[in-house]
Chains A and B, each alone.
Chain A
Amino acid sequence: GAVVSQHPSRVICKSGTSVKIECRSLDFQATTMFWYRQFPKKSLMLMATSNEGSKATYEQGVEKDKFLINHASLTLSTLTVTSAHPEDSSFYICSARDGFQYEQYFGPGTRLTVT
């Protein structure tokens, strides 16, 4: 089946710094990628939708200047958490839609801890 990878799987950063998370579709072209946030023992909350070559669309309540999303190619989307604070600590999951199969595949997630 289709594989989506995320890097890093875990990251610890200091408050005030920025951290970048990569989401890659390894064996298919992803016309659309989605970014989710999951708090402990909670559900996945959609943060934004990114389409290759265009600006991301953010869900209501998500700060676009805090969570920068770039979808520069059909296999790569990045989420940059800028000026991170402890409340940004969470599990971030991406998913990618296969443009041909019309299926959506999830990455393994990235655990971000801001100290």
Chain B
Amino acid sequence: AQTVTQSQPEMSVQEAETVTLSCTYDTSESDYYLFWYKQPPSRQMILVIRQEAYKQQNATENRFSVNFQKAAKSFSLKISDSQLGDAAMYFCAYEGRDDKIIFGKGTRLHILP
């Protein structure tokens, strides 16, 4: 069975600084998707970034980028120029052949003004 591990329950970063959230996963599949979702206090899940496993190039979305290491099964999220609105719970997630999304336990990110 696939698993997703986020080892940082909470993190803090100064506004305008850069922060990296860690995620590792385990799977025997070769083709899959990885995601980072943001969940603000409203509880609405917001897709931050998506990575297809077959793509070697790391996905980027404006201030958000990932470091995808397929062999190491690692998928970290880097947030540059952190803003107050980035404060939220961040979930790393995996989607395999069965289309089910498996979530990590999440990392609560605090932005310090």
Contacts and interface: CB of A to CB of B under 8 A. Distances in A.
A49 interface: yes
Contacts, number: 36
B95 A104 contact: yes
Interface in A35-58: 38, 42-44, 46, 49
17 contacts: A32-B99, A34-B101, A38-B43, A43-B91, A44-B45, A46-B100, A49-B99, A49-B100, A91-B43, A93-B43, A95-B45, A97-B99, A104-B99, A104-B101, A106-B44, A108-B43, A109-B44
Interface of B: 37, 42-45, 91, 95, 99-106
B44 A43 contact: no
Interface string A83-98: 0000000010101010
Contacts of A106: 37, 44-45
A93 B45 contact: yes
Most interface-central of A42, A44, A49, A93 (chain B CB within 10 A): A44
A46 B102 CA distance: 7
Nearest to B37: A106
B47 to A, nearest CB: 8
Given A42-B106, A95-B101, 10 more contacts: A32-B99, A34-B100, A34-B101, A43-B91, A43-B103, A43-B104, A44-B45, A46-B100, A46-B102, A97-B99
